[in-house]
Structure 1
Amino acid sequence: MTLLNGMFDVYIDLNITLAVTALVWLAAKLVLARIGKRLAFTLQLGLLNGLFAIIVLSPAIVAAYHSMLAAEVLPARLPVNLADYAVAQYLRGGIGIPAEDFQSLLGLRSHMSESILAMEPGFGKGVALFLIAGFTYFALRLAVSFARLHRMLSGCHLWRRNGRLKLLLSDRALVPFSARGLRHHYVVIPSDLLAEPDDLGLVLRHEFQHLRRGDVTWEVALECLRPFLFWNPFYYVWKSEVERLRELACDQKVAEDARVDLRSYCLCLLRAAQAGLKKRQELMTHDRSGSVASVALLEVNDRLLRRSPAQKLRRRVEALMEPNRLHPHWGIVGLAVLPMVAVIFLTALSIQKPADWSQDRLMLAAIVNLERLQVINSFGQRP
């Protein structure tokens, strides 16, 4: 149970850290928008992916930090733990509630965690069943998505092959998309696109950018985390940001090529959307089961926080028409990102469970015992 408690604590810490980081990211976007600064989409996507990697690694970094403290490799830590800070403030008289109530508040998270893991009747059992049911449902959906993607790739025709990259032709794909397996990368092209060589060249440039930047791998990783984070709204906020920036960043890289005509590329996006919509209607007419292949990396049908296809297309075209976006020197970017990284680490450190027998905790326990003794003695006093 101790190992399970530790794993559950790490799970909760990751969710809290993701929520705080998402809020910091949205706040930074708002500030930049207010001052009229627009960063390049490729830079924004790189920052998001980098911050997410730091979030995932934060428990290991925190564990390494505590190990170095225990080995006295680092000096005595600063009071960054929120619970320790709250206890220190209480002992200084900054918090004016009964000591027993304050101690109960400090132990609320531990009590709730133990209740959930032990599946105690009521709250604990309800939350545990909710988490198990949600994990099972989204894990099954993920498995179905992989199976449908595999089935679709198997039904495609091999057009060309270059090393681990396979170009496939599909009669059922609504739009071009990229995918990957354990060994190979795939670019699936609707067969109708062969009749439009100009559009085909632009589409291949776009999809190759996805593969070159590792977008497919990031998308698969985020989808694999969905069964664990399905209940966290900030996961969907983060994923929506990544999906939006992923397409805009690829559009930006393709448009930066001097050999690409911007107007032709925008018209290509429009024709691809029209062709996809037309094919969807045709397939839905002949296939009443609704199993139309609309996979884009992995098929995702969620409506939460997602714009309509028309809004997405309009945003992509408008982004291509915007003036040059800022792409500052990497040193400036590093200085700007450093506070966000510091927020992640401070959040991960501050929400850790405090030591059970610190000096301040012992003093708080002594105050609680004194209050209890006072209550007991008051019953023996005459009114």
Structure 2
Amino acid sequence: MTLLNQVFDIYVDLNITLALTAIIWLAAKLTLNRFGRKLAFNYQLAILNGLFAVMVLSPLAVAVYQYMQVAKVVPVAGSLNLADYAVSQYLRGGIAIPAEDFQSLLGLRSRVTEGIVSFAPGFGMAVGVFLLAGFAFFAARLGLNVVRLKRMLSGCHSWRRSGRLHLLLSDHALVPFSARGLTRNYVVIPSELLAKPSDLKFVLKHEFQHLRQGDVSWEIGLEFLRPFFFWNPFFYIWKSEVERLRELACDQKVTDASDVDLRSYCMCLLRAAQAGLRRRQSLAAKDKVGNVAAVALIEVQDRFLRRSPAQKLRRRVEALLEKDRMRPHWGFVWLAVLPMVAIVFLSALSIQKPADWSQDRIMLSTIINLDRMDRETPSFGQRPLR
């Protein structure tokens, strides 16, 4: 197997694991809602980010586990590979199809992978070109968004500095937002907010909370992964969940403070949305900020196949009025998350390509060879063909 084949196999495994992780998260959330138990939004966001990190690191974890098995550091138990399990079930009579057809089905992934990697004419070339073209398009759009953001930041007026944090004033920003570079964090405030001290206080609390939660860093990570997962619908489901919980968790943390009036904060969100929509109508498209490294106070741009900004704003206000969300000790939360992490790891382990040869596979090959010999060798009592 070439290095390119191995890299593509890891890429396929990551996409499958992402889909399984998203399903696990949605199932866990649905189960809690069915029982009327809702976690606080900051807990949900932490779990979501943790599961995503586990998913991204799953190929490395699987490789380490397999190496430890070879080195006999961990005991070699029964195979968890789905393909090996299918072979075992076939030999036990649990799958009733011809042996050659079954072996061909087992090798389908290898044949498809080889066809895509080698740009075989037909399906392989079509999928390969689609993946490369999609990656190039989304990578180019990512680069364009970075340039737009840098242009926006360079056009701002410096207001205040504190260590690595820079507060900037902008005459063109649609809404307040947070961003970051390699070593600096930025909070961009529309200049007109200086005339509204009460709203400015809420905005700064909100943006500082985003920075404390690491939301901008997670947004950067997701945007840089988009070119690799652009075709996977579960990536967009996951990103939508992160964006939703990110804002709800931030709102929840800000309004938990004793000096924050809930009604005043909700009205601040409404005024920010109205001001952003007015600016959007008056500014040229070239002044829009890409979302690659920015986390805005509120979204005022419509996005394809997503809920409208009005719906999101309504959901945020409704969530702020909910007071019955659980806030258990973090130790209990992570203890409850361990089974989810185990399922993600075992899922990643089960979809790996099996070893080329095992005792069961040798037996399957023997059955296939015997079937071929039986078809090719004339039975006793038949006259041989001439």
Q: If the TM-score is normalised by the length of the shorter chain, which range does it land in? A: over 0.9
**Contact 1:199 1:268 (8 Å CA) reproduced:** yes
Going from structure 1 to structure 2, the CA distance change for 1:295 and 1:144 (only over 3 Å counts) comes to closer
1:164 aligned residue: 164
Going from structure 1 to structure 2, the CA distance change for 1:298 and 1:162 (only over 3 Å counts) comes to closer
Find the aligned partners of 2:290 and 2:15 in 1 and give their Cα distance.
28
Q: What is the 5 A alignment of 1:240-319? A: 240-283=240-283, 287=284, 290-296=285-291, 297-298=293-294, 303-319=303-319
**Contact 1:62 1:349 (8 Å CA) reproduced:** yes
TM superposition score normalised by structure 1: 0.96
Amino acid aligned to 2:63 = A
Find the aligned partners of 2:30 and 2:378 in 1 and give their Cα distance.
57
**Contact 1:146 1:298 (8 Å CA) reproduced:** no
> What's the secondary structure of 1:188's corresponding residue?
strand
Is it true that 1:323 corresponds to 2:318 in the alignment?
A: no
**Contact 1:156 1:170 (8 Å CA) reproduced:** yes
> What's the secondary structure of 2:377's corresponding residue?
helix
Residue 78 of structure 1 deviates from its aligned partner by 2.5
Find the aligned partners of 1:30 and 1:43 in 2 and give their Cα distance.
16
Residue 376 of structure 1 deviates from its aligned partner by 1.4
Question: Which runs of 5 or more structure 2 residues have no equivalent in the other structure?
Answer: none
2:360 aligned residue: 360
Q: What is the 5 A alignment of 1:209-228? A: 209-228=209-228
Residue 79 of structure 1 deviates from its aligned partner by 2.1
Is it true that 1:64 corresponds to 2:42 in the alignment?
A: no
Find the aligned partners of 1:133 and 1:207 in 2 and give their Cα distance.
36
TM superposition score normalised by structure 2: 0.95
Residue 237 of structure 1 deviates from its aligned partner by 0.4
Amino acid aligned to 1:292 = D
Is it true that 1:119 corresponds to 2:114 in the alignment?
A: no
Residue 339 of structure 1 deviates from its aligned partner by 1.4
Superposed CA deviations along residues 179-206 of structure 1, whole A, max 9, x for unmatched, are: 0001111000000110000100100000
1:91 aligned residue: 91
Identity %: 67
2:43 aligned residue: 43
Find the aligned partners of 1:378 and 1:137 in 2 and give their Cα distance.
60
Number of residue pairs aligned between Structure 1 and Structure 2: 378
Q: What is the 5 A alignment of 1:118-137? A: 118-137=118-137
Find the aligned partners of 2:373 and 2:18 in 1 and give their Cα distance.
43
Residue 293 of structure 1 deviates from its aligned partner by 2.0
Find the aligned partners of 1:43 and 1:328 in 2 and give their Cα distance.
9
Question: Which runs of 5 or more structure 1 residues have no equivalent in the other structure?
Answer: none
2:11 aligned residue: 11
Amino acid aligned to 2:371 = E
Residue 251 of structure 1 deviates from its aligned partner by 0.2
CA RMSD in angstroms, aligned pairs only: 1.7
Is it true that 1:339 corresponds to 2:334 in the alignment?
A: no
Residue 330 of structure 1 deviates from its aligned partner by 2.1
**Contact 1:81 1:351 (8 Å CA) reproduced:** yes
Find the aligned partners of 2:255 and 2:73 in 1 and give their Cα distance.
51
Residue 377 of structure 1 deviates from its aligned partner by 2.1
Find the aligned partners of 1:334 and 1:171 in 2 and give their Cα distance.
44
Find the aligned partners of 1:15 and 1:113 in 2 and give their Cα distance.
14
Superposed CA deviations along residues 55-104 of structure 1, whole A, max 9, x for unmatched, are: 11111111110111111111113221100100000001010000000001
**Contact 1:280 1:292 (8 Å CA) reproduced:** no
> What's the secondary structure of 1:132's corresponding residue?
helix
